């Protein structure tokens, strides 16, 4: 089949959604489909959201160069506004600021009348678009729960392995804890850095990623006198990231209500335990406290205690990581494309 995978992306920013789309296209091609991405620039500004939805609506993707396109796979807001008789959604997320993030510090929507109106409008339009779709699946249970709650759509989660899966391997349980994330408020890197101030063991923190909070976070680390214990590597992709996973003692990931989160599975595939928080969303679908990692209160002292436990008991780190690996290895691409296309 000729399939378009529809994507919306902020120029100059790379994130998990982009990797999801790329691996989907690769897997479709591997199964003999002719797949291509259609990517429109996205801008999260409130006053531009409806215009962008409208831009997608302008696109009739039924044909290209006089030949039919058989299906369109939409991924995140506002890709499902495109016109096509056979739309499938593999939900990464809706416009989160207008949905579950509303009322948290991570949303720019207030309870003013225009904002409330806009939020309702977006949810109503999304629901209408979902109604046009032939099939809707989600990337995680967490996102399935959201689409049920806000749009009344019941959808099954369809897990897929992280794009780094093929490169990840186990290695020594070294002297650092790893964090891999875009440096954005929602990822709560600041919480982890503050936790480091409470950690009594000599373990270090390595932060992989870049983003709008980079300077602020580096300043915070300096203010807490952690310059020698917290390293910022900037953006890294592929092999160097796999190397860092292989040598880590454990991985910490404490975002607020993450959709799915490749980091959990990446950590497990490298045989590393995962430290996360009770409000982290997606990671909680995989992390079991004391089984393959730790699920902590979202507080620096509680994260620090988990980090210290791993450092003082390396056998424990190894055992938790091993359990995680077994779980992560059950998630493969087998059957995923078939279930997606129906």
Partner 1 sequence: MTPLHILILEAQVPFVHGGAEILVRELASALETRGHHAQVVSVPFIDAPKDEIFAGAEAWRLLDVTCAGSRAIDVVIATKFPTYFARHPRKVLWLVHQHRAAYELAGTRFSDFSHTPRDVALRRRLIATDTGVLRECVGHFTIARTVSDRMLKYNGIASEALYNPPKLAGRLHGGAYGDYVLTVTRLEHVKRVDLAIDAFQKTTSALRLLIAGDGSIRHDLAEYIERRGLSDRVMLLGRVDDDRLVELYAGCRAVLFAPYEEDYGYVTLEAFLSRKPVITARDSGGTLEFVSDGVNGYVCDPTPPALAAAVDRLGADAALAASLGERGHGVAADITWDNVVERLTEAASATHSGRAAL
For the bound state, the minimum distance from the C-beta of residue 41 to partner 1, rounded and expressed in Å, comes to: 5
The answer to whether residues 74 and 67 touch, using CB atoms and an 8 Å cutoff, is no
Residues that bind partner 1 (CB under 8 A): 2, 4, 10-13, 34, 36, 38-41, 43-45, 48, 51-52, 54-56, 58-61, 63-67, 69, 212
Residue among 97 and 155 whose Cβ is closer to partner 1: 97
The pair of structure tokens assigned to 47 is 């006053």
Residue among 54 and 172 whose Cβ is closer to partner 1: 54
For the bound state, the minimum distance from the C-beta of residue 7 to partner 1, rounded and expressed in Å, comes to: 10
| Burial zone of 121 (CB within 10 Å; 0-12 exposed, 13-18 middle, 19+ buried) | middle
Instruction: State how far the alpha carbon of 17 is from the alpha carbons of 5, 20, 98, 123, 290, in Å.
Output: 12, 5, 18, 21, 30
The answer to whether residues 250 and 275 touch, using CB atoms and an 8 Å cutoff, is yes
For the bound state, the minimum distance from the C-beta of residue 210 to partner 1, rounded and expressed in Å, comes to: 12
Residue among 66 and 113 whose Cβ is closer to partner 1: 66
The answer to whether residues 97 and 118 touch, using CB atoms and an 8 Å cutoff, is no
Q: Where are the alpha helices (DSSP H) in the chain?
A: 16-30, 49-57, 113-132, 141-151, 189-198, 214-223, 239-247, 262-269, 300-312, 314-328, 336-341
Q: Which residue has the tokens 């680390």?
A: 221
Residue among 21 and 199 whose Cβ is closer to partner 1: 21
Residue among 2 and 198 whose Cβ is closer to partner 1: 2
DSSP 118-159: HHHHHHHHHHHHHHH-SEEEESSHHHHHHHHHHH----EE--
Tell me if the bond preceding 31 is cis, omega within 30° of 0. Answer: no
Residue among 55 and 191 whose Cβ is closer to partner 1: 55
For the bound state, the minimum distance from the C-beta of residue 59 to partner 1, rounded and expressed in Å, comes to: 6
The answer to whether residues 245 and 251 touch, using CB atoms and an 8 Å cutoff, is yes
For the bound state, the minimum distance from the C-beta of residue 258 to partner 1, rounded and expressed in Å, comes to: 19
Residue among 34 and 326 whose Cβ is closer to partner 1: 34
291 contacts: CB under 8 Å, gap ≥ 6: 320, 323
For the bound state, the minimum distance from the C-beta of residue 55 to partner 1, rounded and expressed in Å, comes to: 4
For the bound state, the minimum distance from the C-beta of residue 64 to partner 1, rounded and expressed in Å, comes to: 4
């Amino acid at each position: 089949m000729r399939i378009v995978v529809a994507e919306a992306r902020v120029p100059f920013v790379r994130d998990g959604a982009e990797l999801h789309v790329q691996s989907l296209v690769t897997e479709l091609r591997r199964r003999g489909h002719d797949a291509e991405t259609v990517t429109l620039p996205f801008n999260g500004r409130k006053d531009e959201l409806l215009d962008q939805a409208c831009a997608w609506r302008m696109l009739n993707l039924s044909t290209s160069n006089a030949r039919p396109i058989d299906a369109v796979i939409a991924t995140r807001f506002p890709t499902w506004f495109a016109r096509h008789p056979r739309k499938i959604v593999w939900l990464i997320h809706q416009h989160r600021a207008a949905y579950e993030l509303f009322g948290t510090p991570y949303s720019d929507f207030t309870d003013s009348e225009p904002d409330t109106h806009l939020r309702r409008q977006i949810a109503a339009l999304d629901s209408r678009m979902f109604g046009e779709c032939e099939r809707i699946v989600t990337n995680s249970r967490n996102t399935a729960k959201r689409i049920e709650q806000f749009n009344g759509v019941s959808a099954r989660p369809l897990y897929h392995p992280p794009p780094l899966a093929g490169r990840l391997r186990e290695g020594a349980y070294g002297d650092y804890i790893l964090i891999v994330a875009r440096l954005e408020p929602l990822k709560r890197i600041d919480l982890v850095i503050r936790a480091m101030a409470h950690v009594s063991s000599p373990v270090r923190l390595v932060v992989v990623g870049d983003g709008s909070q980079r300077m602020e976070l580096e300043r915070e680390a300096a203010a807490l006198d952690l310059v020698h214990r917290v390293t910022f590597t900037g953006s890294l992709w592929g092999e160097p990231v796999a190397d860092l996973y292989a040598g880590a003692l454990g991985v910490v990931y404490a975002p607020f209500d993450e959709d799915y989160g490749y980091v959990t599975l990446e950590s497990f595939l490298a045989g590393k335990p995962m430290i996360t928080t009770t409000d982290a969303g997606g990671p909680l679908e995989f992390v079991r406290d004391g089984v393959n990692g730790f699920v902590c209160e979202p507080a620096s002292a509680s994260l620090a205690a988990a980090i210290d436990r791993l450092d003082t008991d390396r056998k424990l780190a190894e055992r938790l990581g091993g359990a995680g690996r077994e779980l992560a290895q059950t998630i493969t691409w087998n059957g995923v494309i078939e279930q997606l296309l129906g």
